[in-house]
Structure 1
Amino acid sequence: MTTEIHEPDQARLEQTLGQLVVDMGAAMNGALVLIGVDLGLWRALDESGPTTSEQLAARTGLRERYLREWLSAQVASGYLTYEPDNDTFTLSPEHAMALAREDSPVYLAGGLHLISSVYKDRLRITERIRNGEGFGWHEHDPELFVGTEQFFRPGYRANLVDVWLPTLDGVVDKLRAGATVADIGCGHGVSTTLLAQAFPQSTIRGFDYHDGSIARARELAAEEGVDNATFEVASATDFPGSDYDLICYFDCLHDMGDPVGALQYARGALADDGTVMLVEPFARDSLPENLNPVGRMYYAASTVLCTPSSLDQPVALGLGAQAGERRLADVAAEAGFGTFRRATETPFNLVLEARP
């Protein structure tokens, strides 16, 4: 038997190589973006307007030769503009919102810490994949936890209180009057603290199985002066308390080995008229519908973060970050919830409501 050999199509080959060069440049420049954050370069550019490399060096106290190369890389990446007549580099207001202004609702630079952690863990994850084993969330390089906090924080700040919660039936009124809330898989507690700040009459309890994350959540809440939020080490199927008015899962249900069991446990911990709020990565219900830049990012993250985390736990369902609304509805129904609907969405998230 002979194998037919097809000559490569030259145009498709050039397209493939071009895509790889673009991706390699993006992967390399991701590190430079973080270097710019760490050295205060983005902030300095935002504050100074058009500037030369010499002016930026004087402003930051850094060596000009390094800065010219860094600035040139950012121009090549489309993050800065360059004016050759006066040799100046400019950060536009739009790019500043994404790269320099940490209080911006679209600040994304910090999320590159998440990607950086994947490179650090790559060899260990490769071996787990080779052996068909999971890789627990707690096993990752600590930079992952920083990156997760910084990636999700802007969206939660912009949407959680003013946009998402009002779409849930009667929940805001309960929170204003004084509700009991459980934030499951709270990580560094950004969502927990935001809820506590917005609704001081309510009691907000954050739970996560990772003790390091809980320690950091307590620190951040203390820095914000929050006194109606508490944090405890507990999993999604053994957190304490009952008669919760609201139980939240922010971008974490799909990481769990047994999401059905987690929701079953939540159903038992809810008040009779309680609500479960699921915030999940945005996804349609089929692969072809998710072939876009957001889907690309989430499928990649799911391969090295979300799915390994699930496969490391009992049941190991491996729901994945691109499960989609229909699959999540099936999980909720299997857990015993009678009502399930999409409350709202953003380009990065689905916000889903489940009731008994």
Structure 2
Amino acid sequence: MFRGTERFFRTGYNNNLVADWIPALQGVEARLRAGQSRRCRLWPRRFDDSDGSSLSRFKVLRLRLSRASIERAKAAAKEAGISDRVTFQQAPATGFPDGNYDLIAMFDCLHDMGDPVGAGRHVKESLSADGTWLVVEPFAHDCLKDNLNPVGRVYYGASMMICTPASLSQEVGLGLGAQAGETKLRKVALEARFKHFRRATETPFNMVFEVRA
């Protein structure tokens, strides 16, 4: 399952994450280029000084719930030559190691969580004062009729078979589904006590949100 998900989303992440999504976030690209992030295969290679000096200060913490997924990620980091700058840990979204992070990112996973509001509150507690929560979610309009297109039909199928049952099986079990839409995602962020929620950019497959305290 996780390998199939990786293959499905990989092209979009490779083509858009550092080229479009990060630059769409206020001040984040400059901070990454300065190498000041406290704590992903693409980022350490992209935001490197020519002499590699900033990478000595650039550390990325990646969290996954699946042990098999973590092992796959470790292997990919080793293949990319960045395993010395990336740390992988298995932890729930509501209980990952807190800290003073400049950027916390969630890629196509918030809707899968049983308690996305609780996860958001933990993110807020773990960000630096001017930190950013990057939320990437499957593209969806708020109304069902507006999602009856090829992309929406794929996501509804995935949501029925995978995303919604996964959420319902967890504590709280909110069940946002893969077609949550911006209104429901905004409500999650506001209930998590964030005040700033903005759609920074989008593709035909994803919506990209900038969330700040």
TM > 0.5 between the two? yes
Which of the pair is proportionally richer in strand? Answer: 2
**Where does the alignment leave 5 or more consecutive residues of structure 1 unmatched?**
1-143, 183-191
2:62 pairs with 200, 206, 228, which one?
206
For residues 259 and 174 of structure 1, do their structure 2 counterparts lie closer, same or farther at Cα, with a shift above 3 Å needed? same
- 2:52 maps to what in 1? none
TM-score (norm 2): 0.93
Deviation at 1:181, TM superposition (A): 6.3
- 2:5 maps to what in 1? 148
1:132-171 superposed matches below 5 A: 144-171=1-28
2:117 pairs with 260, 274, 277, which one?
260
Give the superposed CA RMSD.
1.1
CA contact (8 A) 1:181 1:205 kept: no
1:120-139 superposed matches below 5 A: none
Deviation at 1:347, TM superposition (A): 0.3
Seq. identity, %: 55
Amino acid in structure 1 at the alignment position of 2:44 = A
1:275-286 superposed matches below 5 A: 275-286=132-143
- SS of 2:175 mapped into structure 1: coil
TM-score (norm 1): 0.56
2:37 pairs with 155, 180, 205, which one?
180
- 1:196 maps to what in 2? 44
Which of the pair is proportionally richer in helix? Answer: 1
CA contact (8 A) 1:181 1:247 kept: no
Structure 1 Cα separation of the partners of residues 212 and 66 of structure 2: 28
Structure (1 or 2) with the larger CA radius of gyration: 1
- 1:287 maps to what in 2? 144
- 1:355 maps to what in 2? 212
Structure 1 Cα separation of the partners of residues 120 and 178 of structure 2: 17
Measured against aligned partners, the alpha-carbon deviations of 1:259-302 in whole angstroms (never above 9, x if no partner) come to 00000000000000000000000001110111111110000000
Higher relative contact order (CA 8 A, sep 6+): 2
Structure 1 Cα separation of the partners of residues 185 and 2 of structure 2: 25
Between Structure 1 and Structure 2, how many residues are aligned? 204
1:309 pairs with 155, 166, 172, which one?
166
